[in-house]
Structure 1
Amino acid sequence: MATFRGGTPPAGREVLTDTNPYGSRTLVVEGDEASSVAYLCDPHGVVHGAVWLANHIPAPETVDLRRLNAGLPPVMPRGGTRHPAGRPPLDPARLEVLWFEEGDGVALFEDGELLAVIPGWADMEHGLPGYARDAIGETPFAWPLEEAMEGLGPRVARARAYWAWRRTEGAWESYLRYVLAHLDATVGPAGRYWDVSEGGLPTVGVTERPAVPGRDYAVLSTVGMSCQRMPQVEQYIDRPDAYARVELAFATRGDPRDAARLFLWLARYPWRSVTWLGHGHTARWYHDRAGFPVPGGYSGVLMLTGLGHLPDPSGLVFGGDSVRWLWLVPVTDAELGTAGHDLDGLAWRVARRLPV
C-alpha cells in the first residue's frame, strides 16, 4: 500500500516551520510545484505524523509511485481531493499554527480557516495520517477533516482558549496561588519554594511542606505540572480527564533540597519526551546509581497514588480535570525489574518506604 515514508521529511520547498512551546515537536510544512505536505517531527527530525495538504497540479488517477520512491511529497489521486484540478501553492503569510495543550498535536489554519490537524495519535507506521480540509475519503495520505470535526473541533477550540489564557498577564501567578492554597489546606503550611523549570515551558516549581506536630517528615510537591495536560494519555486511557493532569510528591526525613532533585529530573519529562506518567509507572535514574538523590542504593522510582499513611492532596480540579498526585517511591534495580509483571506485589512491599 502506498503511504508516507518514515524517517526525515522528503526534500521540498520549506513553507513553514513551528516548534511547540515545550520544544518536543516541530511542524514542518513543505511543498514543491506538485503538492504540499505537513510533517510532525521530533527534535532529531524523525517524522511522527504527516498529512497531505493540497495538490498544485491536476490530480493523477492513481498514486504516483515514482514520486514516493524518489522521496518527494505525495500527490493525492483524483478521488481523494476536493480540488482535482489543483490549487495555488500555500502562502506562509496566510498560515497560522495552533498547538494542542499537550504539545503532541497541532492544527494548521489558512486565512483563519482550519486547513489540517495532525493529532497526537497520528501514526505513519500504522497508516494513520492527519486530517485535511481538502481530503475526500480515508487515504494513506490524509483523512477528511470535515468528518472528524465532532471530535477535533472541541479539541482545537480548547487549545485556542488554553493558550489565550496562558498568555494573559497574571495567569501563572493566579494558578500558582490556587495550587499552593490547596496544598496549604490538605498537606500543611508552606516552607521553601524552588523553581525547577530551567527556562521555557512547562513552568514547574517545588514547594516544601516542613514537618509539623504529628508529622515528623517534610512533604515536597511539584506545582505546575497540572497546568497543562500530559501528552499521549488519550491513547491509553478511556477517561483522560481523570488522568491527564498530575503533580509529583515525595516524603522525606532527610534534607529536602536533596530530594528536590527528583523533581528536577522528572517534572518536565512528559512534555519533553511526549509521554505520560501514571500510577504504577516507573522511571530509572539517568545517572550512575551513586548519584541518586536519596541514599539507600536505589536506582529509580515507582509512582503510586493513594498512599493512606501519607497526607492526601487530592481534590484539586483544574481546567475541568481532576489532578492526581503521584508519590515517588524509591526502588532498587531488582525492584524495577519486577514492576512489569508484579506491580501490585511490588507496590504493597515498597509503599511504606516513604517517608525516606
Structure 2
Amino acid sequence: MSQEPITLIEQPNSRHTLYAVVEQDERTAYFYLYTAELISKKYRMRACWLRNLQAGPPARDSAAMENGMAPMLAARLCNHPEGKEPLVASRLSIVWMPEDDGAAVLYDGEILGVIPGWSLYVDEPAAYAADCINVDEQQLVFPLGERGSNEQYDRVAEAVKFRTEWESVEEPRWPVIQEQFISAYESRFGKMQQYYAIDNKEWPPMAMGKFEKDNVVYFMTMGVSIRPMPWVAYLYNENASAFRRMELGIAINKADFTEEEIMKMAEGLSVLADIPWRHISWLGEGHTVGSSKLTAPFESLVLSAALYNGDSLVLPEMYGDKVNLYWASPITPLELGFAHRKPNGGYELLEKMIEHDITHVVNRRSEIFQQ
C-alpha cells in the first residue's frame, strides 16, 4: 500500500492566487502549482516531476495515474534509472517569477524544477526538471538541460535577483522609484498635492499622487510597474518588454464633478492597480473594467494611452522596460456593449470616442451611441 505523499515545502505567491508545493511519497517527488479557489475555474493545477525514489518503470507509469497517484518517470528519461535519495525539506526553496504566475523549486540553491508562467495558459502544460534527460511524445516534463541551453536558467536567475533586491534593507529601491515618478508627473501637472498609499501594506509598494493643473485634477499611480504583468510574455513573446509594465492615470474636470465624485473615481482607479496579479490577468490599450465608483450614466472604465492629448509625458523605464501609462476613461453600458461585441472591440470604441473629441480628461458627456 503506497503511503500518502507528504508536503516538504509550501509557499504562496504574493496574492495567494497560486501555491507552490513540493510533495514526496516513497516512490517519487513532485513540484505543483495549485490554484486558489478564486481562479480555479480559469486555471488548473500544474505539475512538474522532480525525481524517482525507486527504480523507474520501463515505460509510462499508467498504473499509478489510474490509481490516482503521481506517476514515476520512465527510467530511460531520467538521469537516475535506479532511483535517487529522497529530497530533504530543509534544502528546498521556492522562487516566484516576477509576474507571480510561474515558479521554480531550488535544492541547495540549484534549480530542481521550473513551472513557467505560460504553462498556465496553454492546453498542454509543460515543466522542466534538472533530473530529466530525455523526452517522449506523451510526457509533460522536459529536460532542463545545461546552463546556457535553456532560457529557464536566465529567467530563474532574474527572479532570484529581483526578489533579493527587494528584500535588501541596505539599498531600498522604493524611494528612488517613487522620486522618479513624482518628478515625471510634477514636470507636467504641477506640484504633487497629496500622496496616497494604495498597496494595502502588501508588497510591492504602490501609491497614487494627486496633482492639479488648469482646473483638472490628476490622480497618477506609481509602483504598479515594479512587477511585469502576467500573460504578456506568452502573448507578445520577444515584444513583451513593450507591454508588460503599466501605470494608471485619471484626469477629471473639476467644473463637472463634485469633490466627492472626484474622490470616488480616484478610489476606483486605485482598485485597478492590483487587478493583473489578483486575477492573473493583464491590462492594456482598449481593455475595459467595471467600476462601482463612477457617476451615472458611467459604469465602466476603458484604458487608453491613445486618448491622451496633452504635452509629452515620458515615464521612467522599469528594469529596462518601457512603462505604459493608461488613462482611465468612464464609459456607459451601451459603450461597453459595443466594445464587447467582437474581439478587440475596445480599439473600435476608442476610435469612436476620439471621433467625438473625447480625450483623457473626464467630462460630463452624453452617450456616443443612440439607443
Between the aligned partners of 1:115 and 1:199, the Cα distance in structure 2 is 32
User: 1:33-182 maps to which residues of 2 (within 5 A)?
Assistant: 33-44=26-37, 46=40, 47-123=44-120, 126-139=123-136, 140-146=139-145, 149-169=149-169, 170-182=172-184
Between the aligned partners of 1:322 and 1:164, the Cα distance in structure 2 is 23
Partner AA of 2:132 in structure 1: A
Q: Which residue of 1 aligns with 2:367?
A: none
1:12 aligns with 2:14: no
Q: 1:11 offset after TM fit, Å?
A: 5.8
Q: 1:17 offset after TM fit, Å?
A: 0.4
Q: 1:179 offset after TM fit, Å?
A: 1.3
Q: 1:122 offset after TM fit, Å?
A: 1.4
Between the aligned partners of 1:138 and 1:298, the Cα distance in structure 2 is 54
Between the aligned partners of 2:335 and 2:26, the Cα distance in structure 1 is 57
Q: 1:344 offset after TM fit, Å?
A: 3.4
Distance 1:30 1:160, change over 3 A: same
Following TM superposition, the consecutive aligned residue runs of length 4 or more in structure 1 with deviations greater than 6 angstroms are none
Between the aligned partners of 2:128 and 2:25, the Cα distance in structure 1 is 20
Q: 1:149 offset after TM fit, Å?
A: 4.5
More divergent stretch after superposition (20-29 vs 44-53): 44-53
Between the aligned partners of 2:240 and 2:93, the Cα distance in structure 1 is 27
How many residues align? The count is 338
CA RMSD of aligned residues (A): 2.1
Q: Which residue of 1 aligns with 2:199?
A: 197
Between the aligned partners of 1:153 and 1:183, the Cα distance in structure 2 is 37
**Structure 1 stretches of 5 or more lacking a match?**
1-9, 286-291
Between the aligned partners of 2:122 and 2:244, the Cα distance in structure 1 is 25
Partner AA of 2:17 in structure 1: S
Between the aligned partners of 1:98 and 1:297, the Cα distance in structure 2 is 45
Between the aligned partners of 1:69 and 1:48, the Cα distance in structure 2 is 18
Q: 1:74 offset after TM fit, Å?
A: 1.2
Between the aligned partners of 2:149 and 2:175, the Cα distance in structure 1 is 34
Contact 1:99–1:107, Cα closer than 8 Å, also in 2? yes
Between the aligned partners of 1:33 and 1:305, the Cα distance in structure 2 is 55
Between the aligned partners of 1:82 and 1:16, the Cα distance in structure 2 is 24
TM-score (norm 2): 0.85
More divergent stretch after superposition (215-224 vs 41-50): 41-50
1:280 aligns with 2:273: no
Partner AA of 1:190 in structure 2: M
Between the aligned partners of 1:294 and 1:225, the Cα distance in structure 2 is 22
Contact 1:187–1:312, Cα closer than 8 Å, also in 2? no
Distance 1:339 1:149, change over 3 A: farther
Distance 1:32 1:125, change over 3 A: farther
Contact 1:49–1:124, Cα closer than 8 Å, also in 2? no
Distance 1:295 1:304, change over 3 A: same
Contact 2:209–2:219, Cα closer than 8 Å, also in 1? yes
Q: 1:34 offset after TM fit, Å?
A: 0.6
Between the aligned partners of 1:180 and 1:11, the Cα distance in structure 2 is 54
Contact 1:37–1:50, Cα closer than 8 Å, also in 2? yes
Between the aligned partners of 1:13 and 1:330, the Cα distance in structure 2 is 50
Contact 1:229–1:244, Cα closer than 8 Å, also in 2? yes
Q: 1:284 offset after TM fit, Å?
A: 2.2
User: 1:15-34 maps to which residues of 2 (within 5 A)?
Assistant: 15-34=8-27
Task: Return the match for 1:355 from 343, 362, 368.
Answer: 362
Q: 1:137 offset after TM fit, Å?
A: 2.7
Between the aligned partners of 1:250 and 1:124, the Cα distance in structure 2 is 31
Between the aligned partners of 2:121 and 2:216, the Cα distance in structure 1 is 49
Q: 1:124 offset after TM fit, Å?
A: 8.7
User: 1:186-335 maps to which residues of 2 (within 5 A)?
Assistant: 186-210=188-212, 212=213, 215-238=214-237, 239-253=239-253, 254=257, 255=259, 256-285=262-291, 292-335=292-335
Query: Partner of 1:236: helix, strand, or coil?
Result: helix
Identity %: 26
Partner AA of 1:264 in structure 2: S
Query: Partner of 1:14: helix, strand, or coil?
Result: strand
The higher relative CO (CA closer than 8 Å, separation ≥ 6) is in 1
Q: Which residue of 2 aligns with 1:5?
A: none
Q: Which residue of 1 aligns with 2:349?
A: 346
